Structure 1
Amino acid sequence: NGLRAAGQAVMKKRDSVYGRTGFYWACSNGHLEVVAFLYQEDPSVLHLRANEGWTGFHHACAFGKVEVVKYLAEKEPDILLVEDNEGATGLELAKSINDTVIIDFLGNHPVWIQHQQLLSQQQQQQQQKGKMTSRERKKEEEKKKEG
C-alpha cells in the first residue's frame, strides 16, 4: 500500500545535521509506543546508526529511557553489545549519566554477563600463552638464532 511505503521512507529519513531518524528521537525521548510501532513495522530501524555511530538503543541509554531500553533489549538482546564509533555500548552511555536503573538492568542482563565471561576466558588464554616456561623460552631463542 502506498501509505505504508511512504511511512517506511519517512521512518528512515535522516536529519541533515546528526543523521538521526524519527526512531532515534522516539528512543531518546522515551516514547515507547512510537518506538514499538516503528520497530514492529521495520525491525531494521534498530540497526540504523546516526553520525556518531549511535543506534536508537544508544540514544535510549544515554537519555535514561528505561522502558525503551528494556523493550529493545527484549526484542534484540545482542543490541547490548553494539558499540558506537568511540567503542561505547549502551551500558557505558548509561554509566556516563549515572543511571543506576539502566546500569543494573544491562549489567545483569544474561547477554552482557555471557559476553563478560567470554572476554575473561579470552584474556586468561592470552595470559597463559604469555607464560612460557624457561625451557620453552630457551627453545624460542634457539629458533630465532637458527633462523
Structure 2
Amino acid sequence: MTINVINASKHPLPAYQTPLAAGLDLQANIATPVVLRPLERQLIGTGLFIELPEGYEAQIRPRSGLAYKFGVTVLNSPGTIDADYRGEIKVLLINNSNTDFTVQDGERIAQMVVARHEQISWSPTDQLSETSRGQGGYGSTGR
C-alpha cells in the first residue's frame, strides 16, 4: 500500500528498521531540545502529514528501547490517527522515570503501525449469548 505524505520536517521519511518490522519509527521534528521532567508530558511534532485510505488507521505506539532504558513512553498508547485527519502527526510522550529526559531533534520517539479497521453498527438486544467465560472479567481466567 502507498500512502500520501507531506514531509514538512528536515528528516527522511519514516522507515522500517528491519525487513519484517510492523512499525515505522517516527522522529522528533523540533527546533530546540525538549526536556521532559519526571512525570511530565509533552506533544512532540514529527513534521509529517498523512492521507490514509478509508478503512485504515495509523496507531502511534511506544518504542520499547525508550520505555525500557529511560522510562519514556507514549501516554495514550496506542494513539489513533483516523483516515480523515490531515493535521501534523504529534506524539504525546511522558517521562515515567525519576530523572529528566531530553528529546533531541531527529531522535526516534515512537513507532507507527498502519492497520485496517472496521466500523460497526449496534443491534440493541435484551440478552447476549452464553459462553463458558460468561461475565468473568479481570483475573477470571487465572493470575
TM-score in terms of structure 1 length: 0.24
Which structure has more RCO (C-alpha within 8 Å, separation ≥ 6)? 2
Structure with the largest fraction of strand: 2
